[in-house]
Amino acid sequence: MARGHRSGDTHNTRMFELSAESTLDELSDYAFDNEDQMHRLIEANIEKLFPDLTFLTREFREMAGGELRPDTVAFDTDLNTFVALEYKNKRNAGAVDQARTYLDSMETHKADLVLLYKKKEDSSRQKNSFDWGKMYAIIMAPEFGDYQILGAKKDSTVELYKIRRYGKHVMLMARVGGGHVRTHTTARSVPATKRKKPTPDTNRPATVPRPNRPDGDVKLPDIEDATGMRHPKELTCPDGSRVDLKSWVDMLSGVANWLVSKDHLNESHCPVQTGPKNAILHTQPIHQNGRAFTAKREVGKLFLNTDLGSTNARIQQSISLINRAGLDPSGFVLSFSDSVRPVRSHTSPVCVTITKWSSVPGSKEADRYYVPHMVTVDVGGEVVWTNDDVTAHTVTSGVLTDGGPDGMFDSGLFAPRTKFSHIFEKAGEYPYFDRVHPWMQGVVKVKGV
């Protein structure tokens, strides 16, 4: 096999097959049919292409409610850090900026990444055992523009790889740019045959069995993972003032209100961003991309975005607000009492199905979308929603015409063939709806025991 370069384009590689008679036959290059084809091939061979990487998950949906997620999340065992991989089946001018956005989002979802690692590697490692400062992104595409390569040359957080197929049995991967330092990976040719499909974890519930709740008072940054955990009872601020909490949204709002009331945050600090196109706190209730906040609260003269997708995201965004104000997050303490400890259900979960074509309006029967439309569980009971439709949906507590989301539970966007679950620990009646398809409504009734 021989390689060459076409004149005029130093990154356009040619491949030749060398015969026994010392003649060269050029192999035709083929683009991948689609990004999903690249996706599956690379994930199935990730440890051959990158010996230090271990596959963790496909499309890390915990990030930004599933809307802003890398194609693959892997773990670099040599650098002890997490890696985002993004694939393009043609040149994409925004690929590098997109990867940088993923890294920003991963910074605010550290607890979710730790939980993912624990599940995949059967590990008890804690958040402070990872090297978060070394996270980086790998971008793979058939070609990159000269300005992309030049712009990424000094960026220590990205690696650019050209990837193409040649003939029927050869794939070439060659690094062409990026400033991230790697010591073990070189360009490799991998047979395009014997492709083993990965087994992405697409059927798992969006919440997992609850971690043990710490006793007494806990400093805000000391909560490693709050997935599925019920909200604390009280927030104590640095000046000793206390805020009663009825949800994790109240916790985020309590932090923001205290910071604004003490003038630690004001108009001059806004927007406080979660990423290049999103904000937690703003002088007006819109994202940087011009779309209105789906769920907001007024904080003095400012507006707080509470539509953050998960409990861990709300904790991280609270810490981001505190850091923006120049204060120590450890000065904010969450109080848990026995009366709000998690109650585990000893019965099987109650299942609700989002039926196919629910995203198409027209039926006058509201209960045909969530089936069954109304379910009843005991305190401590779990409800699992399965999306059997062809598009993404949400399960959001509250009544759209009466204030919208109330913060009790919110799946964020979850894709077809995936699930979301929630454990109910207080008796009452909990209406919910789909924020994307608002004609979809349901009710969960929780009986006292």
What are the backbone dihedrals phi and psi of residue 134, each rounded to the nearest 5 degrees, phi first?
-105, 10
Q: Are 83 and 74 contacting, i.e. CB atoms less than 8 angstroms apart?
A: yes
Instruction: Give the burial string for 316-331 (b: 16+ CB within 10 Å, else e).
Output: bbbbbbbebbebebee
Give CA angle at 212 (206, 216), nearest 5°.
125
Residues 335-360 have a mean pLDDT of: 67
Residue matched to tokens 């706190």: 281
Instruction: Give the burial string for 79-109 (b: 16+ CB within 10 Å, else e).
Output: bebbbbbbbbbeebeebbebbbbbbebbbbb
- Considering the segment(s) 2-191 as one domain, its CATH architecture is 3-Layer(aba) Sandwich (3.40)
Query: What is the band of 431 on the pLDDT scale with cuts at 50, 70, 90?
Result: very high
Sign, CA torsion 305/306/309/315:
positive
Residues 198-223 have a mean pLDDT of: 56
**Strand partners for 162:** 141, 174
From CA 322, how far away is CA 318, in angstroms rounded?
Answer: 6
How far lies 335's CA from each of 216, 245, 328, in Å?
A: 6, 10, 18
Side by side, the strands of the sheet bearing 374-378 are 374-378, 441-447, 428-433, 396-399, 404-410
Closest CA to 295 of 448, 89, 435: 435
How far lies 253's CA from each of 7, 99, 244, 250, in Å?
A: 60, 30, 11, 5
pLDDT in tens, 151-173: 777 778 889 998 888 877 778 88
Identify the pLDDT of residue 291: 63
Identify the pLDDT of residue 194: 39
H-run or E-run covering 12: none
Query: What is the band of 259 on the pLDDT scale with cuts at 50, 70, 90?
Result: very high
Q: Are 138 and 86 contacting, i.e. CB atoms less than 8 angstroms apart?
A: yes
Residue 119 in tokens? 């599940």
The mean of the pLDDT values for the chain is 77
Give CA angle at 304 (106, 65), nearest 5°.
35
What are the backbone dihedrals phi and psi of residue 270, each rounded to the nearest 5 degrees, phi first?
-90, 150
H-run or E-run covering 36: helix 35-44
Identify the pLDDT of residue 429: 92
Q: Supply the angle between the helices 95-107 and 110-121 in degrees, to the nearest 10.
A: 90
Find the farthest-apart pair of alpha carbons in the chain and give their distance in angstroms, rounded. 86
Q: Does domain 350-447 have CATH number 3.90.226.10?
A: no
Eight-class DSSP state of 265: S
- Counting DSSP H helices and E strands in the chain, the numbers are 7, 28
350-447: same fold as 2-191? no
Identify the pLDDT of residue 276: 59
How many C-beta neighbours within 10 Å does residue 62 have?
23
H-run or E-run covering 324: helix 311-324
From CA 264, how far away is CA 327, in angstroms rounded?
Answer: 9
Query: What is the band of 63 on the pLDDT scale with cuts at 50, 70, 90?
Result: low
Going by C-beta distance under 8 Å and a sequence separation of 6 or more, which residues neighbour residue 20? none
From CA 343, how far away is CA 63, in angstroms rounded?
Answer: 27
Q: Where are the domains of the chain?
A: 2-191, 217-340, 350-447
pLDDT in tens, 172-197: 888 888 877 754 333 444 444 433 44
How far lies 376's CA from each of 385, 421, 425, in Å?
A: 14, 15, 13
How far lies 11's CA from each of 2, 3, 158, 169, 326, in Å?
A: 16, 12, 18, 21, 46
Mean pLDDT is highest, among 31-35, 90-94, 219-223, for 219-223
Is a pLDDT exceeding 90 seen at residue 272?
no
Is a pLDDT exceeding 80 seen at residue 55?
yes
Is a pLDDT exceeding 90 seen at residue 82?
yes
Residues 285-294 have a mean pLDDT of: 65
Query: What is the band of 337 on the pLDDT scale with cuts at 50, 70, 90?
Result: low
From CA 101, how far away is CA 112, in angstroms rounded?
Answer: 17
Is a pLDDT exceeding 70 seen at residue 117?
yes
Residues 349-375 have a mean pLDDT of: 76
Q: Roughly how many angstroms between the first and final C-alpha of the chain, as a whole number?
A: 73
Query: What is the band of 230 on the pLDDT scale with cuts at 50, 70, 90?
Result: confident
Residues 256-275 have a mean pLDDT of: 86
Identify the pLDDT of residue 443: 94
Is a pLDDT exceeding 80 seen at residue 339?
no
> Radius of gyration of the chain from Cα atoms?
24
Identify the pLDDT of residue 240: 83
User: Which of the pair, 139 or 61, is modelled with greater confidence?
Assistant: 139
Is a pLDDT exceeding 50 seen at residue 226?
yes
Residue 271 in tokens? 């927007």
From CA 179, how far away is CA 148, in angstroms rounded?
Answer: 12
